[in-house]
Amino acid sequence: MRRSHAGHYYEPVPTQSDATGTLEEENDQMTDQLKKKIDVLKSLSIDIGAEVRYQDRLLNDMDEDFERTGGFLGNTMNRVLRLSKGGHNYYILYLFLFSIVVFFILYIVLKFR
């Protein structure tokens, strides 16, 4: 029996056997889709973790290289300062003249090549 209300009819409530079959199928489909999305997110998060570990290792290696270079540069500067404080002040002049000669030779070699 249907009741009418302002020209609109109410649909009867579906029986238990009709609703259960379609709802279970929809739930199974949605569950499968959700599993696929979770698998994609899991593989993406694993890839991100691997990339983060690789970048962290790369940064640590660069940090160690910079520390070694800084120590080497510091030792070199200390030697140059010790050399300049010595009684032989002409070493800086010799170094300057040597660099000018080297650049001049390179200029000639590259110009006439």
What pLDDT, in 10s, does the model give residues 67-111?
888 888 888 888 878 877 766 667 778 888 999 999 999 999 998
Q: How many CB atoms lie within 10 A of CB 80?
A: 13
What are phi and psi for residue 9, nearest 5 degrees? -105, 140
Contact between residue 91 and residue 84 where contact means Cβ atoms under 8 Å apart = yes
Predicted pLDDT of residue 81: 81
Task: Report how far residue 57's alpha carbon sits from residue 50's, in angstroms, rounded to the nearest whole number.
Answer: 11
The pTM of this model reads 0.46
Q: What value does the mean pLDDT take over residues 57-74?
A: 89
**What is the identity of the amino acid at 81?**
L
Using alpha carbons, list the distances in angstroms from residue 44 to 31, 33, 38, 47, 104: 20, 17, 10, 5, 57
Q: What value does the mean pLDDT take over residues 48-53?
A: 96
Q: Is the pLDDT of residue 17 over 90?
A: no
Low-confidence winner among 13-17, 29-33, 65-69, 100-104 (lowest mean pLDDT): 13-17
